[in-house]
Chain A
Amino acid sequence: MELETNVVAHAFGSSRLRLANTDVLVAVKIETDVPSVDQPDEGKIEFFVDCSANATPDFEGRGGEELATEISNSLTSAYRSTKAFNLSKLCILKGRKCWKLYVDILLLECGGNLYDAVSLAVKAALWNTEVPRVLSVNLDGNKVEMEVSENVQDCVKLDIVSAPVMVTISKIGEHCVVDPSAAEEQCATASMVVAISQDRFTTVLQSGSGSLHPSTLKESLKLGLEIGSKLDQALIEVLRQRPAKKQVGFLM
């Protein structure tokens, strides 16, 4: 598995992940927005998946749309719990202004195990993301004025430790297999995707058709939890080892 972070110059955070034959590029863009009426003290996060026709010819035209919505929906569900990802830190002024994170996911090559690869890349990109530091917020009539630090390097890191990591478990024959290749996915009678955040499940869903016996379901949940926790630890370790952004140029 190869992981690079900070690869896109114009993004606030980005990552590229290569997992066997799967290649994913994730970039995070930030904009200001008005918080929703239901959650006035929370920011927003949105996931967009683009299945590039470069990945496989099947994605040509609208071919990849179904897969794209499936992946982005699973990410939205996985990040929905406050415990997994706290959106209240993205609020600038309650009910008036908040940050909105746009997470754009580009599938460059598909070689199976897409959910796992995408979730790891998203977590790495969010880890890499830096939100501009807000110095002051003023309310002038109905207009919100805010002052952002002029120093480009002066940013706030997001708290991403508890962000979920997804694991796909495929039932092939009598056994449950993790990290399936594209060919193995074709053979699977049923597949499950679990999102694990700090040893707890944030989302469980089935991918593709097929049904499971209750005992297989419980077995795969246990397996998914075990693998997910290990994967999460390994990812965080690697991300922590990365040096902080280097100071470049003589002025900064």
Chain B
Amino acid sequence: MEGKQRSNVKFVFLKCGVVSQAKGSAYFEVDNTKLIVSVYDPREIPKKTDYSSKGELFCIFKYAPFSCPNRRAHQPDADEKQHSAIVKRALESAVCRHEFPNFQVDVYILVLENDGSALSGAITAAGIALAQAGIPMYDTITAATLAIQGTTKLLDPTLEEETLCTVATHKSDTEIDYDSHGIIVLAMLSTHEQISEFYQLGNLDLETLNESVNILMNAAKDIVPLVEKCLVDYVTKTLKSNAES
């Protein structure tokens, strides 16, 4: 954690169309974090009597039992439920929900290995999977995580860095006051310059928060070309194989 700013060069791998049964799917790796997202066809909202003019998204964010240092139970815990709600909120503003009234689209996210920044990775990957599934969308959606401890800011932190940034530390041995710390997740639609989800934890002042918003927006924009390339590659590949057959 010592030092000013760690190098922001990260290994990112993206692939869509990995689950043959799903309408759309994506596999996403950022450093050691690996996750898989599948999107299924719109279907009627189960157990619903009244008509809803907007379609719904049904998101499930799940850590695989073996994905974290401690085993995760099969039943979704409070953390996973919260993450599901965050992903849902983030995606809702990206999807043209009025195009499929009274229907719901299922988005399942499975984290295979959690080494930090799983939530932002899940949002980005879910955006790709939705696009591949042909769900009408306003824009590509990308997300980034920033962890802050004192004056150190870490983009796309690892699990260890995330844990370090959730606890408050003293400024120095003599001071009683705690230093600022926290984790911020931001999801945005870059063409429209709209922030669809902003989630912060910890203890930060306004100035740090404003600075972080700028850093996160740039980070989210940086992934857009990767997402676009991934989708374009998929389309050219499908067109080619269609032409051959």
Contacts and interface: CB of A to CB of B under 8 A. Distances in A.
A80 B217 CA distance: 26
A180 B167 CA distance: 33
Contact of B203 (A201, A209, A211, A225): A201
Nearest to A216: B195
Contacts of A83: 168, 178, 203
Interface in A53-77: 66, 69-70, 73, 76-77
Contact of A201 (B188, B192, B206): B206
Nearest to B93: A211
Nearest to A209: B92
A214 B195 contact: yes
Contacts of B93: 209-211
A82 interface: yes
Nearest to A195: B200
Contacts of A82: 167-168, 178
A231 interface: no
B196 to A, nearest CB: 4
Judged by DSSP, the binding face of A is: mixed
Contacts of A69: 78, 81-82, 85
Nearest to B88: A209
A204 interface: yes
Given A206-B197, A212-B194, A201 B178 contact: no
A80 B166 contact: yes
Interface in B189-238: 189, 192-206, 209-210, 213, 217
A201 B166 contact: no
A221 B201 contact: no
Contacts of A76: 78
Interface residues of A, number: 33
Contacts of A239: none
Contact of A73 (B78, B188, B198, B202): B78
B78 A218 contact: no
A82 B166 CA distance: 9
- Most chain A beta-carbon neighbours within 10 Å: one of B78, B198, B205: B198
A197 interface: yes
A5 interface: no
Nearest to B194: A211
Contact of A209 (B78, B82, B89, B182): B89
Interface in A65-98: 66, 69-70, 73, 76-77, 80-84
A82 to B, nearest CB: 4
A206 B89 CA distance: 8
B34 interface: no
Contact of A213 (B184, B195, B204, B205): B195
Contacts of B189: 211
Contacts of A203: 200-201
A200 interface: yes
Contacts of B184: 204
B204 A201 contact: yes
B200 to A, nearest CB: 4
A204 B168 contact: no
B213 A217 contact: yes
A73 B82 contact: yes
B170 to A, nearest CB: 10
A201 B81 CA distance: 23
Contact of A217 (B168, B181, B198, B205): B198
Given A82-B168, A200-B180, 18 more contacts: A66-B85, A69-B82, A69-B85, A77-B201, A80-B166, A82-B167, A82-B178, A201-B209, A205-B198, A208-B89, A209-B92, A211-B195, A212-B195, A214-B195, A214-B213, A217-B198, A218-B213, A221-B206
Interface of A: 66, 69-70, 73, 76-77, 80-84, 192, 197, 199-206, 208-214, 217-218, 221-222, 225
Interface of B: 78, 81-82, 85-86, 89, 92-93, 166-168, 178, 180-182, 184, 188-189, 192-206, 209-210, 213, 217
Kindly list the 4 A-B residue pairs having the minimum CB-CB distance in the complex, ordered from nearest. Answer: A209-B92, A211-B194, A211-B93, A82-B168
